[in-house]
Amino acid sequence: MTDTQFDVLTVGNAIVDIIARAEDDYLARENINKGAMNLIDADRAEHLYAAMGPALEASGGSAGNTAAGIASLGGKAAYFGKVSNDHLGTVFTHDIRAIGVHFDVAPLVGAPPTARSMIFVTPDGERTMNTYLGACVEFGPEDVDADVVANSAVTYFEGYLWDPPRAKDAIRLCAEIAHQNKRQVAITMSDSFCVDRYRDEFLQLMRDGVVDMIFANEAELKSLYQTGDFATALNAVKADTALAVVTQSEHGSHVVTRDATVKVSAHPIDKLEDSTGAGDLYAAGFLHGMTTDRSLEECARIGGLAAAEVITHVGPRPQVSLANLLAQSGI
């Protein structure tokens, strides 16, 4: 994986997070599915914001967080996603470029506005997202810069991109360009409800070789194979992809290839503050390891290290240099 301009291109819904603490009974009262990414329309967004506690705003979006993590680790990252030319679009663009990610997709001019996700963090540190997709619905193949795809060792995209209407066309185009250039393509399963919405399509992407590797957490993998048994799901995935990276929160992660499964413990933390970005940063660490020729076990450990940083503070992206943390970690 040399002679590339970028280690990883990530593609996703470009979102600014609006983050507040909330109690579990608030989620119940508002009929919000805890732990999930709930899609909402503009009216619901207004209703929830009015009922929301005091908030912080921070650039987010799953693949955006992953790109930020790779840049923070010292890797070369690029990002595709759609914002509008409004205040939140300016914030998103500033933040992703400021951390060192190449981001040059033309913003939408006018409505709909830049996407935002209202994230409620419950006392257990779990995050529950309520996402208004806004400008993301306009993302399509015309936003794909073929040179960037061709020059990225890995193209990584969100399963969430199956929600807006034309993003999946952009992803199919990216995968084609990537494979023509002997690059790799990765998908994250994003959310167990998202897997439930697009299970057959995701399995087909794996079986057709449109993707070369997948990232999933335990709930997503179980949803993918419609089983309540984790071991069954772990075993099933071997038949469908050459590399599956499966996270289990505080129980660590599993790297599953056709020949073997490597189990790695979670990185120890003092206190879980906000789980937002945990999976995104794990993927950042894993992909950074891959693109710097680390062993699969080391990739998983770097993933755990990056995830540990992001869950010990409020906000979905690293607040300190992950390159420094990695250097100090001895991994």
Q: Given the rule CB under 8 A, which residues bind a copy of itself?
A: 20-21, 49, 52-59, 68, 86-88, 91, 94-96, 98-99, 313-315, 317, 319-320
SS3 118: strand
Q: Minimal distance in Å, beta carbon 139 to a copy of itself?
A: 22
Q: Minimal distance in Å, beta carbon 103 to a copy of itself?
A: 12
Task: Tokens for 191, please give them.
Answer: 């959310």
Q: Give the nearer residue to a copy of itself in terms of CB position, either 99 or 221.
A: 99
Query: Distance (Å, rounded) from C-alpha 52 to C-alpha 253?
Result: 34
Q: Give the nearer residue to a copy of itself in terms of CB position, either 68 or 210.
A: 68
Q: At what angle do helices 322-329 and 62-72 cross, to 10 degrees?
A: 60
Three-state secondary structure string covering 89-141: HHHHHHHHHHCCCEECCCCECCCCCCEEEEEEECCCCCEEEEEECHHHHHCCH
Query: Distance (Å, rounded) from C-alpha 29 to C-alpha 120?
Result: 13
User: E strands along the chain, which residues?
Assistant: 6-11, 15-21, 37-39, 56-59, 77-80, 102-103, 115-121, 127-132, 152-158, 184-188, 213-217, 243-247, 253-257, 261-264
Q: Give the nearer residue to a copy of itself in terms of CB position, either 37 or 58.
A: 58
Q: Minimal distance in Å, beta carbon 311 to a copy of itself?
A: 14
Q: Minimal distance in Å, beta carbon 121 to a copy of itself?
A: 9
Query: Distance (Å, rounded) from C-alpha 266 to C-alpha 260?
Result: 19
Q: Minimal distance in Å, beta carbon 273 to a copy of itself?
A: 8
Q: Minimal distance in Å, beta carbon 90 to a copy of itself?
A: 9
Distance of CA 1 to the CA centre of its chain: 22
SS3 322: helix
Check: CB of residue 191 under 8 Å from CB of residue 216.
no
Check: CB of residue 77 under 8 Å from CB of residue 8.
yes
Q: Give the nearer residue to a copy of itself in terms of CB position, either 15 or 58.
A: 58
**Nearby residues of 21 by Cβ (< 8 Å), 6 or more positions away:** 53, 120, 121, 122, 123
Q: Give the nearer residue to a copy of itself in terms of CB position, either 101 or 129.
A: 101
How many beta carbons lie within 10 A of that of residue 263, not counting itself? Answer: 14
Q: Give the nearer residue to a copy of itself in terms of CB position, either 29 or 258.
A: 29
Query: Distance (Å, rounded) from C-alpha 65 to C-alpha 284?
Result: 8
Half-sphere exposure of 118 (CA within 13 A, CB side): 25
Q: Give the nearer residue to a copy of itself in terms of CB position, either 220 or 274.
A: 274
Q: Minimal distance in Å, beta carbon 83 to a copy of itself?
A: 14
Q: Minimal distance in Å, beta carbon 100 to a copy of itself?
A: 9
Q: Minimal distance in Å, beta carbon 19 to a copy of itself?
A: 9
Check: CB of residue 286 under 8 Å from CB of residue 299.
yes
